[in-house]
Amino acid sequence: MFLHQTHLPHVLGPELYSCPTQYEQEMGCLFRPGWHVVAGFEELARDGDFVTRDLFGTPLLLRNSGGEVHAFLNVCTHRHCMLTHAARGNQPKLRCQYHGWEYCDDGSTARIPDARSFRPMPGGPERLRKFSVHVRGPLVFVSLAENPPPIEDLFGPLAEPCDEYPAERWKLADAWEYRFNTNWKLPVENTIESYHVPFVHPMSLVNYGAEEAMIHEIHPAAAIMRTPTVTPWFYRLLSRWVLPRLDSACTVDHYRLFHGFPNLFLIRIDAMLQVMVVFPESPTTCRMTVRVYGLRAARETWYSRWLTWSWGHLKARIVRWVLSEDARLYPDLQRGMENSPFAGTISMREELVFAFQDYVRRGCGLPIENSISPSTAEILPASEAVT
C-alpha cells in the first residue's frame, strides 16, 4: 500500500528546474558535502591500480595501495600539474608525471628527484590533499567535504543491496554514461516513479504493480520501492532456468529500487545489480553513470561463469533499452518546466517524488510558502517518516 491516501503537491515550482541560484544552492547544500559513487572496486582490484575522475569540477585520483583505496586531489604539490591524465592504469608508486615526485599513502612526499636543490625545505613540502573514501560491496564512495556526514546515515536504508552479497560475487557486465540537456532532478524523479511505465515502456517494462502489492519506504536520507514484476512469459521461463544455477535465493518476481538522496540508485532484480548516479553539470544539464553487475555463483565453474557473463550482458541490453526510452522524454520535460504556469500535482503512486522534492526543499532551506501551498504544510512530516 502507498503511505499517503491523497494526492500530493508538487513541492518544487517549475522555475526551480532551470534557476542558476537554485542550482548553486543544491550544489552547496546537497552535493559537495555528500558521499558519491565514483568507481567500482573491480577497477581497483590490484595493488597499484588507479583511476581518475572528475567530481563536480574537482579532479580525483583513486588508488589501491595494499588493498586499501585512497583518494587524492589529482594535483601535485610541486608545480600544480595533474599527477596523471590517464583514465586508469597501474603504478607501483604514486608519482607525478611532470617531475617524478613520489607520494606516500598519507599524501606526504616519499621521494623528490634531486632533493638537494630544494634545500632548505623546513617542515617539508605540503602534502597531497586527501579525501574520505568508503568501500561498500562493489562500490567506492568519495566525499569532498573536510568533515563529511556519517556515511551510515546513508547506509541504514542502502545496506540491503550493498551487503546482500560479497563484492567478489558481483561481476561488472557493462558500464556507460549519458549526458542529458535537462536539470538533474528530472531524471531522478523519472526513476523513482512507476506511473509512467505503461505509457513510456509498454514493451520493456510492461506495467506497474497494483497498489496493494507495492511497498514504499521513506527515510530521511533515502527511499525504497518494492514491487512485484510483470514480465513476458518467455523472460520468466528463461529466468527460472538460469537463476537457480547462480543462486537459489534469486527470483524474478521482485523489483527493489533504493534511492539514496539526492542522486544514487541501486536496483536489485533477480541476478542483477544496477547502479546509477546522476551528477548535475549546470542548471539545465546533467550526467548519468550506469553500471550493471551480474551475480557470480558461490562456487564457480566454466559453465556458471558463462551464465553470469550471458545474463549480465542480457540485462545490460535491457537496461539500455529502458533508459533510452526515458531519455527521449527529457528534452520535452525540461522545456515544459521552463514554460509551465502550473503548480503541478503528484499522485499517491508518485509519492517518492514528493519525498525527494521535500528533501531538496529542506536541504536547500526553501520556505514552504515559496514552494507549495500553505494548506498542504501538514502533509510534509510524512516525508520524514520511516516505515
383 with 222: CB under 8 angstroms? no
Q: In whole numbers, what is the pLDDT of the chain averaged over residues?
A: 89
Higher pLDDT, 264 or 194: 264
DSSP 231-288: --HHHHHHHHHHGGGT-TT--SSEEEEEEETTTEEEEEETTEEEEEEEEEEETTEEEE
Higher pLDDT, 202 or 170: 170
Q: What is the pLDDT of residue 371?
A: 45
Phi, psi (degrees; rounded to nearest 5) at 37: -75, 120
Banded model confidence at residue 369, pLDDT cuts 50, 70, 90: low
The mean per-residue pLDDT over the stretch 88-98 comes to 94
Most confident region among 99-113, 245-259, 287-301 by mean pLDDT: 287-301
Banded model confidence at residue 374, pLDDT cuts 50, 70, 90: very low
Q: Is the pLDDT of residue 229 over 80?
A: no
Q: What is the pLDDT of residue 382?
A: 42
Which one, of 142, 139, 63, lies nearest residue 106 by Cα?
63
Predicted TM-score (pTM) of the model is: 0.90
CA distances from 364 to 12, 118, 219, 320, 344 (A): 11, 47, 18, 33, 20
Q: What is the pLDDT of residue 378?
A: 45
Residue range 336-348, pLDDT digits in tens: 999 999 999 999 9
Q: What is the pLDDT of residue 125?
A: 64
Most confident region among 114-128, 237-251, 264-278 by mean pLDDT: 264-278
Of 38-42, 133-137, 250-254, 360-364, the least confident: 250-254
Which one, of 149, 143, 110, lies nearest residue 128 by Cα?
110
What b/e string do you get for 318-350 counting C-beta neighbours within 10 Å, with b at 16 or more?
A: bbeebbebbeebbeebbeebeeeeeeeebebbb
Higher pLDDT, 157 or 61: 61
Q: Report the half-sphere exposure of 57 (CA within 13 A, side-chain side).
A: 6
Q: Is the pLDDT of residue 376 over 70?
A: no
Q: Is the pLDDT of residue 315 over 50?
A: yes
Banded model confidence at residue 208, pLDDT cuts 50, 70, 90: low
Q: Is the pLDDT of residue 370 over 90?
A: no
Residue range 152-173, pLDDT digits in tens: 877 788 999 999 999 999 999 9
Residue ranges and CATH numbers for the domains of the chain are 8-33+159-384 (3.90.380.10), 35-148 (2.102.10.10)
Q: How far is the C-alpha of 104 from the C-alpha of 128, rounded, in Å?
A: 9
Q: What is the pLDDT of residue 249?
A: 87
Banded model confidence at residue 207, pLDDT cuts 50, 70, 90: low
